[in-house]
C-alpha cells in the first residue's frame, strides 16, 4: 500500500498493471520484448503474493524488473486517512494520482469480510439522500483503480491472516454508468489465477440504468444485482432519485423481470427508509404489490444522516412494523445491519468531510 511519502506524479504516465486482465498482461509483456509466460508470473506476484514493489518479484530477471520500474506501476493511490468504528468497520480515503479522492469500506460480518469499493470519483445521479452526489461526477475510475482498492484492503487483511469474502460496488459512483471498467474489475477479481472471488460473492448496486441492466442480463453473469428502489410511486422516487424521470418504476421493474429470466438470479431491492416520505404501512403495502411475482429480497436501510440533507431517520418501532408488514404480505425483507454508524461510513461522507475541512 502506498504511503504518504511516495510520489504519485508519474502513476498516470505509466502502465497500471492492475488494469490488465491476465491475457492482456501476457500481451503487454510481449509488446515490451518479453516472453508470454512472464505475464502469468507477474500476475501471480500481484494477486497471490500481493507484492507492492517490482524488486520483490524475485523469479524475474533483474533486467525485466528494471524495465518494469521504467514503464509500469503497481499502485497509484495513497492513504489520506482511515477511520475505525467500534464495530470493526474501517473506512479509507485514498488520494489518486490526479489529486482526486475516493473511499473504500471494510465491513466485518459473522460470515466474513465484505469490501465496498468506489467505481467513480463522485457521482452525477443526484440521489438526494446520498453524500456521493454532493460534488457531482469528477470522472470514472479505471478497472485497475477499483482493483487497487480491493488489493489495499486484502493486504491489510493479510496481516490478520484473513481474506476478503465478498465485494460490493455500492461505494461512491454509479457502477453501471462505468460499465466496461467495472466488468473488467469483476473479471480480474474473479480470475482463478488471482484473487478467486466467486461471481456470486460480487454485488453491483445501481440506481436503475435500464439499458445497462439489460446488457448485464444478456451477458448472463452470475453476480448479484441490487436495485436502489427507495419508493413505490414515481412522484416520490423522482424527487429522491432524478434518474426515475428517465426510467420510471414500471419500466425498471419490467427490466428486473427480464434480468431474472435471463440469469436465473434473484434480485435484491434496496429501500432507504426516509422519515415521513416513504416509510409508513401504506408504502409497505404498495411495495409488496409492486414486487408480486418478482423473485427478490428487500433490504431496508434506515437513511444515513448527511449534514447537507434535511432527512430524518424512521423510528425503530416503525421500521419493525414496516418489515413485519412486508413479511406478512409474503415479501422476503430484512433490515440492513448498520456498520460504521459512529464514523463517516455512508457513501461519500468521508470524502465530503475532507472537502469541507
Active site residues: 103, 347
Residue appearing with cell numbers 471494510: 106
Instruction: Fill in the DSSP letter of residue 291.
Output: T
Which three cell numbers, joined as nine digits, stand for 81? Answer: 486517512
Q: How many CB atoms lie within 10 A of CB 57?
A: 20
Give the DSSP H/E element, type plus range, for residue 68: helix 62-71
Residues shown for the chain:
357
Q: How far apart are the C-alpha atoms of 338 and 258, rounded to whole Å?
A: 31
Three-state SS at 36: coil
Residue 219: exposure state from Cβ atoms within 10 A (0-12, 13-18, ≥19) = exposed
DSSP 146-209: HHHHHHHHHHHHHTTT--EEEEEE-SSS-GGGGHHHHHHHHHHHH-TTTT---GGGEEEEES--
- Strand pairing of 120-122 and 137-140? antiparallel
> By the 8 A CB rule, do 204 and 233 touch?
no
> Residue 277: CB partners within 8 Å, gap ≥ 6?
231, 236, 240, 311
Amino acid at each position: 500500500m502506498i504511503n504518504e511519502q511516495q510520489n504519485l506524479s508519474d502513476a498516470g504516465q505509466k502502465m497500471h498493471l492492475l488494469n490488465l486482465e491476465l491475457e492482456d498482461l501476457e500481451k503487454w509483456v510481449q509488446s515490451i520484448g518479453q516472453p508470454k509466460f512472464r505475464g502469468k508470473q507477474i500476475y501471480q506476484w500481484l494477486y497471490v503474493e500481493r507484492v507492492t514493489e517490482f524488486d520483490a518479484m524475485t523469479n524475474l530477471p533483474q533486467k525485466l524488473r528494471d524495465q518494469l520500474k521504467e514503464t509500469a506501476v503497481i499502485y497509484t493511490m495513497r492513504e489520506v486517512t482511515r477511520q475505525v468504528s467500534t464495530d470493526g468497520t474501517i473506512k479509507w480515503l485514498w488520494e489518486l494520482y490526479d489529486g482526486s479522492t475516493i473511499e473504500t469500506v471494510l465491513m466485518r460480518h459473522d460470515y466474513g469480510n465484505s469490501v465496498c469499493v468506489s467505481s467513480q470519483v463522485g457521482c452525477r445521479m443526484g440521489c438526494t439522500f446520498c453524500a456521493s452526489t454532493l460534488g457531482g461526477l469528477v470522472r470514472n475510475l479505471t478497472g485497475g483503480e477499483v482493483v487497487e482498492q480491493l488489493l489495499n484492503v486484502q493486504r491489510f487483511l493479510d496481516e490478520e491472516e484473513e481474506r476478503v469474502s465478498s465485494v460490493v460496488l455500492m461505494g461512491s459512483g454509479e457502477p453501471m454508468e462505468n460499465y466496461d471498467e467495472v466488468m473488467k474489475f469483476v473479471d480480474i477479481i474473479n480470475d482463478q489465477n488471482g484473487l478467486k472471488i466467486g461471481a456470486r460473492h460480487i454485488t453491483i448496486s445501481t440506481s436503475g440504468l435500464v439499458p445497462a441492466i439489460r446488457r448485464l442480463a444478456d451477458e448472463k453473469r452470475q453476480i448479484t444485482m441490487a436495485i436502489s428502489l427507495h419508493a413505490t410511486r414515481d412522484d416520490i422516487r423522482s424527487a429522491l432519485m432524478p434518474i426515475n424521470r428517465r426510467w420510471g418504476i414500471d419500466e425498471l421493474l419490467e427490466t428486473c423481470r427480464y434480468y431474472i429470466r435471463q440469469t436465473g438470479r434473484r434480485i435484491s431491492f434496496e429501500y432507504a427508509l426516509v422519515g415521513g416520505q416513504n416509510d409508513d404501512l401504506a408504502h409497505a403495502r404498495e411495495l409488496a404489490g409492486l414486487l408480486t411475482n418478482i423473485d427478490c429480497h428487500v433490504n431496508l436501510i434506515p437513511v444515513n444522516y448527511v449534514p447537507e440533507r434535511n432527512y430524518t431517520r424512521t423510528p425503530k418501532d416503525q421500521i419493525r412494523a414496516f418489515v413485519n408488514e412486508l413479511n406478512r404480505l409474503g415479501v422476503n425483507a430484512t433490515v440492513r445491519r448498520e456498520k460504521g454508524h459512529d464514523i463517516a461510513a455512508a457513501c461519500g461522507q468521508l470524502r465530503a468531510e475532507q472537502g469541507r475541512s
